Structure 1
Amino acid sequence: MNYIFKYGKNFMAISDNIEADCHKHWLLQMFLSSRKELNIEVNGKLIPCSAILVNVDTPHLFSTEGDPHFTILVDPTTDLGRVLRGLLKGQPFFIFPREKTMIMQQTFQDALAQKSHNAYLPFVESIIAQFDYSNMNNFDDRVIEVLNLLGNCIHEDESHQIKHFSDKTHLSESRLAHLFKEETGIPLKSYVVLHKLQIAYQSIFNGENITTAALNAGFDSPSHLAYTNKMMTGMSATNIIRDSEFLKVF
């Protein structure tokens, strides 16, 4: 079973049942095993570790092999994403130091031992609290405006167009695209797709089916949502929903 949480724009899961094909996406992703080393490949190489952060646009392959694991899919524009990007320093992955890994694993084991959903939320919050948020740089005001426009959009085609953002920020489309990528680490067009996927999952958290979720998010069809999800997660959206329990939105 997969237990999935939504934390702002970020998604987290506790699972012993993940078998993802090799894929890459414009999210940062952290993996933590409960006990033994991860079964994870990054850029085609097996990485021996128990806790790792994988950078955006980096091919990776992962399997839980029946053991409980914790993973976070992190939007690079969030506070957590900005902090984690600082750890990566442009590298494809970052292996967490042994001392921090042991602390996170012990907290994870304690939560699993309670065998209660109520224990998972404090664990998730403890992971978020592991990082120092005091030295983040602010985004350019025009990037912030784009993020606000997306946050308030009505999920119609016009509100997802680069021209729409260009007009609102008084920058050319090419200049805005360059600025957004420079500030966030993700192309603006790719971020719009990611945003639509986030909206779709929000609908699923609210109990909607895939068809309704796809339409709510501005996808052309349920198959378009399914294809996008498969490309970005390496897993079938139908299987994720069937095998998952959506526990909490914070």
Structure 2
Amino acid sequence: MFNTDLNQLYKNKLIIFDAKDHITFLTDKVDTHYHRHNYIQITIGVEKNFHITIEKDSIYTKGIILDSNTDHKLHGYNEWQLYLLINPESIFGETIKKNLLKENKVYMIKEEKINSIMELNIQLIAEITNSLEYNKFIKKLKETLGISNYNVEHTIDNRIQEVLNYIEDHPLDMLSVKELSNIVFLSESRLSHLFKEEIGISLTSYILHEKLEKAFYLIFNGSNITNASIEAGFSSSSHFTQTVRDKLGMPPRIITKNSRYLKV
């Protein structure tokens, strides 16, 4: 599709865009072990197909969407892929689940949609420097997937909204299910059940996601892994490293080496 050698075009081997409801990254260094995470994952081969093993089924494809909490491993073979990791509780995530996944774990992106995505000129992602440029790109991507005009009606329980607000406004290393349950006058078990019912993932998993996001934000802004791990609420850098391996399939040093990060 492209005549340009991406390895010559990109100084960075991983380009990350951290948005409010998803993370997008373009890279040629994904080669993961089996793992699962709470994100809905979109993977698109920029120039070539890739192998992905979902549970025990090996698939050779150029475009796929995985539901959250689906065991998988991906073999990138040093080829470039575009990834979106989308929070399932967001409107973006709920729209994908309602209109594309439809209770399935996997959605194969049709070839004509892949070709249309390629026409967005993914190479230009490397040149995005601000939120406005990125939002234009993501809008076109949603239009190509046919999900830009859908609205998902989901009124979150007031108590869960209060918990979400509290998590956003307070230090992550001080949070616990017990503390949050006291704030909304629910038992720990009732809050955990209600949170999963409303948001789609467990409360502990949600807090862990917030900790991971903060740790990477700190690392990409100059903090070392040890300090970022502790400030984000992990007990140690080894705890952070093991969590990243479990959730993303590779260690944090691989993710952060030769990478560029932009908060959008």
Q: Same fold (TM over 0.5)?
A: yes
Matches within 5 A, 1:198-213: 198-213=213-228
Instruction: Give the secondary structure class of the aligned counterpart of 2:178.
Output: helix
- Given residue 200 of structure 2, which amino acid in structure 1 is its aligned partner? G
Contact 1:82 / 1:136 at 8 angstroms: preserved in 2? no
Give 1:89's aligned residue.
102
Deviations 1:157-199 (A, max 9, x none): 3xx2111221122222212111111222211112111221111
- Where does structure 1 lack aligned partners over 5 or more consecutive residues? none
Instruction: Give the secondary structure class of the aligned counterpart of 1:32.
Output: strand
Alignment equivalent of 2:47, drawn from 30, 35, 38: 35
Aligned residues: 244
Matches within 5 A, 1:113-192: 116-118=126-128, 121=134, 122-128=136-142, 130=144, 131-132=147-148, 133-157=150-174, 160-192=175-207
What TM-score results when the alignment is normalised by the length of structure 2? 0.84
The alpha-carbon deviation at position 92 of structure 1 amounts to: 1.6
The alpha-carbon deviation at position 18 of structure 1 amounts to: 1.2
Distance in 2 between residues matched to 1:39 and 1:134, nearest whole Å: 33
Contact 1:33 / 1:105 at 8 angstroms: preserved in 2? no
Contact 1:30 / 1:53 at 8 angstroms: preserved in 2? yes
Instruction: Give the secondary structure class of the aligned counterpart of 2:165.
Output: helix
Deviations 1:179-225 (A, max 9, x none): 11122221111211122111111212322221121111111111111
Alignment equivalent of 1:217, drawn from 227, 232, 239: 232
Q: CA RMSD in A?
A: 2.1
Contact 1:24 / 1:58 at 8 angstroms: preserved in 2? yes
Does residue 1:78 correspond to 2:90, yes or no? yes
Distance 1:206 1:138, change over 3 A: farther
Contact 2:37 / 2:70 at 8 angstroms: preserved in 1? yes
Alignment equivalent of 2:63, drawn from 44, 48, 51: 51
Distance 1:116 1:12, change over 3 A: closer
Instruction: Give the secondary structure class of the aligned counterpart of 1:62.
Output: strand
Distance in 2 between residues matched to 1:129 and 1:222, nearest whole Å: 40
Distance in 1 between residues matched to 2:142 and 2:170, nearest whole Å: 27
The alpha-carbon deviation at position 128 of structure 1 amounts to: 4.8
Distance in 2 between residues matched to 1:50 and 1:139, nearest whole Å: 36
What TM-score results when the alignment is normalised by the length of structure 1? 0.88
Distance 1:148 1:36, change over 3 A: same
Distance in 2 between residues matched to 1:193 and 1:115, nearest whole Å: 28
Instruction: Give the secondary structure class of the aligned counterpart of 2:70.
Output: coil
Distance 1:115 1:227, change over 3 A: closer
- Given residue 117 of structure 1, which amino acid in structure 2 is its aligned partner? E
Distance in 2 between residues matched to 1:142 and 1:95, nearest whole Å: 37
The alpha-carbon deviation at position 134 of structure 1 amounts to: 1.9
Contact 2:65 / 2:106 at 8 angstroms: preserved in 1? yes
Distance in 2 between residues matched to 1:90 and 1:144, nearest whole Å: 25
The alpha-carbon deviation at position 89 of structure 1 amounts to: 2.9
Contact 1:4 / 1:14 at 8 angstroms: preserved in 2? yes
Distance 1:71 1:166, change over 3 A: same
The alpha-carbon deviation at position 96 of structure 1 amounts to: 2.3
Quick one: percent identity of the two aligned structures? 28
Distance in 2 between residues matched to 1:128 and 1:7, nearest whole Å: 15
Distance in 1 between residues matched to 2:102 and 2:251, nearest whole Å: 31
Instruction: Give the secondary structure class of the aligned counterpart of 2:216.
Output: helix
- Where does structure 2 lack aligned partners over 5 or more consecutive residues? 1-12
The alpha-carbon deviation at position 60 of structure 1 amounts to: 0.7
Instruction: Give the secondary structure class of the aligned counterpart of 1:40.
Output: strand
Contact 2:46 / 2:122 at 8 angstroms: preserved in 1? no
Alignment equivalent of 2:210, drawn from 195, 205, 214: 195
- Given residue 127 of structure 1, which amino acid in structure 2 is its aligned partner? L
The alpha-carbon deviation at position 100 of structure 1 amounts to: 2.5
Does residue 1:98 correspond to 2:108, yes or no? no
